[in-house]
């Protein structure tokens, strides 16, 4: 026990830096190339409603060292289809230049670049059309293929941020588009951020990694013992029943679903450990059922402070105490009491 306490003390001050959320990350699509290309197409178009004119487009041209006019023949093209229905993510067409961009976030480089090249050359370099074609792979780290040159989100995003910063400094009151663009740039410039720990914490953890693995093994054994404790207490209290316990990983920590051979359908008991939180209010015990009327359950729980709510995803009803428990022992003991309630209504709870 003393050794364990010493290990805890070692890591007490180590902090994990969480990435600052953005609109894209909150929406769950921040890792997808499709919405990223839509945002880029919007900001790269000087005629769009953002009001930045050619700020973003000029930043791109400066970054890739193209000294050309920012006048576009038409709005940025997304998902341009080649002869064999392959698609180029983003194409910008100027007066005498073309920029083709293939976006990558988490995917490998397995695109048909030869077919892309054939399409671009035929469309913009044949007949009377002789535009300079520039090809780039926009990715978290440098990626290239043949004529396609590397361009990272951080390099492009930082260039736009700097130009945008100068514009904001001239404006008295930033508009909503200033906030939206800043949020988008923060999102794409974080793609290549691999290390989230402070260097001092990283080095300290590196030097004590063996102890950290030891803590991980202790945690695994503890969770197994909690599961064993649940099964033991339930079996001792109701020796005429056969119980099974399954573990599920929830946001607040492991949760255990208990089933008895006497209960039908999806009815059972849930014990939430709340181990990942700092408060005991997340340690709870509930009855889970699909087909029990409120009037019936309320009669049985007449002496209990009761909370009733529905899980819309699973279309089940959960019944349990309003407040959490101080310890996992208390939650298990309370769940054991609920066994008689489920047994009492087992005939009425079939699906």
Q: Which tens digit of pLDDT belongs to each residue from 48-104?
A: 999 899 999 999 999 999 998 999 999 999 998 888 888 999 999 998 999 999 999
Helix (H, G, I), strand (E, B) or coil at 256: strand
Phi-psi region at 281: left, alpha or beta (left = phi > 0; alpha = psi -120 to 50): alpha
Residue 277 · residue 253 · CB < 8 Å:
yes
Lowest mean pLDDT among 28-37, 123-132, 136-145, 282-291: 282-291
Q: How confident is the model at residue 316 (pLDDT cuts 50, 70, 90)?
A: low
Enumerate the β-bridge partners of residue 243.
260
Please give the model's pTM, rounded to 2 decimal places: 0.56
Confidence (pLDDT) at 309 = 52
State mean pLDDT over 142-171: 89
Enumerate the β-bridge partners of residue 319.
287, 308
Distance CA 281, CA 296 (A): 27
Distance CA 185, CA 26 (A): 15
Distance CA 107, CA 141 (A): 12
Confidence (pLDDT) at 57 = 94
Distance CA 36, CA 193 (A): 17
Average pLDDT across the chain, whole number: 81
Instruction: Give 172: exposed, middle or buried? Use CB within 10 Å, 0-12, 13-18, 19+.
Output: exposed
Question: Which among 52, 35, 60 has a CA at the least distance from the CA of 157?
Answer: 60
Q: How confident is the model at residue 351 (pLDDT cuts 50, 70, 90)?
A: very low
User: Within its chain, how far is the Cα of 36 from the centroid?
Assistant: 16
Confidence (pLDDT) at 190 = 81
Distance CA 92, CA 145 (A): 20
Confidence (pLDDT) at 53 = 92
Distance CA 14, CA 286 (A): 35
List of domains in the chain: 23-189 (no CATH), 213-348 (3.30.1460)
Lowest mean pLDDT among 113-122, 248-257, 338-347: 338-347
Confidence (pLDDT) at 152 = 92
Quickly list H helices, 83-208. Answer: 113-124, 153-170, 176-189, 199-207
Distance CA 297, CA 341 (A): 8
Q: What is the percent of the chain where pLDDT is above 90? A: 34
159 φ/ψ angles, rounded to the nearest 5 degrees: -65, -40
Q: How confident is the model at residue 350 (pLDDT cuts 50, 70, 90)?
A: very low
Distance CA 126, CA 333 (A): 80
| Residue bearing the bigger pLDDT, 45 or 205 | 45
Residue 149 pLDDT greater than 70, yes or no: yes
Residue 89 · residue 78 · CB < 8 Å:
yes
Q: How confident is the model at residue 45 (pLDDT cuts 50, 70, 90)?
A: very high
């Amino acid at each position: 026990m003393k050794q364990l306490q010493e290990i805890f003390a070692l890591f007490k001050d180590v902090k994990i830096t969480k990435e600052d959320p953005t609109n894209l990350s909150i929406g769950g699509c921040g890792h997808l190339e499709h919405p990223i290309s839509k945002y880029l197409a919007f900001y790269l178009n000087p005629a769009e409603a953002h009001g930045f004119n050619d700020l973003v487009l000029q930043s791109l041209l400066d970054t890739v060292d193209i000294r050309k006019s920012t006048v576009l023949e038409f709005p940025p093209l997304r998902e341009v289809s080649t002869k064999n229905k392959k698609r180029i993510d983003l194409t910008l067409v100027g007066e005498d230049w073309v920029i083709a961009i293939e976006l990558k976030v988490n995917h490998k480089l397995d695109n048909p670049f030869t077919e892309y090249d054939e399409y671009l050359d035929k469309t913009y370099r044949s007949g009377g059309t002789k535009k300079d074609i520039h090809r780039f792979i926009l990715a978290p780290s440098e990626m290239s293929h043949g004529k396609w040159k590397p361009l990272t989100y951080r390099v492009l995003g930082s260039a736009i941020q700097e130009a945008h910063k100068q514009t904001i400094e001239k404006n008295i009151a930033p508009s909503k588009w200033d906030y939206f663009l800043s949020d988008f740039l923060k999102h794409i410039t974080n793609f290549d951020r691999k290390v989230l720990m402070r260097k001092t914490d990283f080095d300290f953890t590196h030097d004590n990694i063996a102890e950290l693995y030891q803590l991980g093994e202790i945690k695994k054994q503890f969770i197994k013992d909690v599961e064993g404790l649940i099964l033991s207490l339930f079996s001792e209290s109701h020796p005429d029943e056969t119980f099974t316990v399954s573990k599920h990983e929830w946001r607040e920590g492991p949760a255990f679903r208990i089933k008895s051979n006497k209960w039908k359908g999806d009815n059972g008991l849930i014990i939430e450990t709340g181990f990942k939180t700092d408060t005991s209010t997340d340690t709870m015990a509930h009855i889970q059922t699909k087909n029990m009327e409120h009037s019936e359950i309320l009669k049985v729980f007449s002496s209990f402070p009761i909370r009733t709510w529905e899980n819309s995803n699973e279309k089940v009803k959960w019944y349990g105490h309003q407040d959490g428990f101080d310890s996992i022992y208390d939650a298990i003991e309370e769940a054991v009491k609920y066994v008689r309630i489920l047994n009492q209504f087992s005939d009425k709870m079939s699906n």
